[in-house]
Amino acid sequence: MAQVLEFKLPDLGEGLTEAEIVRWLVEVGDVVAIDQPVVEVETAKAMVEVPCPYGGVVTARFGEEGSELPVGAPLLTVAVGATEAPASPAPSTSSASGASSAGAPAAEESSAGSGNVLVGYGTGAPAARRRRIRPERVGTPAAPAPVVEPVPVPVAVPAATGEVNGRQGPVAVVSPLVRRLARQHEIDLRRLTGSGPDGLILRADVDSAIRRAEEAARAQTRTAAAEPVVAEVPTAGTAVPAAAERIPLRGVRGAVADKLSRSRSEIPDATCWVDADATELMAARAAMNAASGPSGGPKVSVLALLARICTAALARYPELNSTVDTAAREIVRLPGVHLGFAAQTERGLVVPVVRDAHTRNAESIGAEIARLTELARTGKLSPAQLTGGTFTLNNYGVFGVDGSTPIINHPEAAMLGVGRIMPKPWVHNGELAVRQVVQLSLTFDHRVCDGGTAGGFLRYVADCVEQPAVLLRTL
């Protein structure tokens, strides 16, 4: 007889304590292989596919898409070794005891699976294709098809199912982003008519519903304003209008908010900035890309060149490649440069990390930045690729702004900000000329160094931007 084991949401690494279920990859009754991804979850750092360490038949799922579960909460139960759904409902599981629904101890559960329970972003073996067990066709009167009774799912029916306006069954929504957008704005997907193929609900449909809801709210506000208003005595705290939109601070946005608040509260930061003539840097980049030819590989980006300049500057000023151990009251200088770069995505601001940037040239750094940027765009960065940075480069010039005062990416000690590069009047060789000018700003932890060190770092970066040959002389 197959043993029913309970698989709990594993430790996702980096201190993460909860995750939101974005999409189930298996249904009750599916046969799963060891280490097959069974659910896609979103943490404060990344979108992660969680593999199950057991092989068998899924007998129960816990949690709806869009719900949050803490680490250690039950995800699903699996009849280990089974090849078809059990003929009777699986026994109930106990999330409090942490034991399987069949009463097996935790040690027995560990030995039944692969042992490769996810920590951050996956296990080893490739995932097998899932398949649904269906009753076999009756071949002859002597070989009747086995009866597979439905196994109850111990969760509530998803919010996007049911009958509304004569329509019954699941709503045709494929994109998790569309579901999340609808949840954030309290849009009932059952009441929408999709404009996509076969009634598929698209983001444009949700956006239109949001606009209609906002217009209705504004109309209601105007109507209320025309009626007599009875003044009320304000209560303690901040008064929030009833029609104000509330956006939960969770996921990536919540993690960013926590980190920025901690940075401001713990780090005594200071900022210095300088304008630099980037004309020669842009010319050097053009020459490098021209030398590679039309099929010579990816082009070198300005960000890659600035990253290479930063690694050279940190070798001269290692104070800025450090962190502060407040408990021990020590400055910890780090042996290598793991360079983070700010990337804006649909999920919010993330900071992927180029490992061992001090050992790479501009081409290698550029290729890694391009790879990590694509993963960030598709939401596939792992927690390991978003942590462990020692210094951050923030190119806010892509937003069309000249300057900023960056907030340090805690627990790092400094961040270099880069504004847009644009033509400006500049005194060059004693004459007024139009040059490509950029503003550089350095925010640093005043505990690790004084202004002289920070100024020296920034001045070296500016010198390399103005005269790239300075970098060659110091290599």
Active-site annotation, residues: 446
Q: Which residues pair with 441 in a beta bridge?
A: 273, 417
Mapping DSSP to helix (H, G, I), strand (E, B) and coil, where does residue 182 land? helix
For residues 336 and 19, give the distance between their C-alpha atoms in angstroms, rounded to a whole number: 31
Alpha carbon 426 to chain centroid distance?
A: 41
CB neighbour class for 2 (10 Å; exposed up to 12, middle 13-18, buried from 19): middle
How far is Cα 351 from Cα 345, in angstroms, rounded to an integer? 10
> Residues 310, 385, 346, 421: what is their CA dihedral angle, to the nearest 10 degrees?
10
Q: Are strands 30-32 and 36-42 parallel, antiparallel or unpaired?
A: unpaired
CA-nearest of 382, 311, 361, 375 to 45 is 382
In contact, 204 and 173? CB cutoff 8 Å = no
Classify burial at 98, counting beta carbons within 10 Å of its beta carbon; exposed 0-12, middle 13-18, buried 19 or more.
middle
Cβ–Cβ < 8 Å for 269, 451? no
Nearest to 406 by CA among 273, 289, 276, 305: 273
Burial of 30 (0-12, 13-18, 19+ CB in 10 A): buried
- In angstroms, rounded to a whole number, what is the distance separating the alpha carbons of residues 342 and 306? 13
Q: How far is Cα 395 from Cα 427, in angstroms, rounded to an integer? A: 25
d(CA 462, CA 475): 16
Residue 323, CA distances (Å) to 171, 331, 336, 338, 430 in order: 50, 6, 12, 13, 42
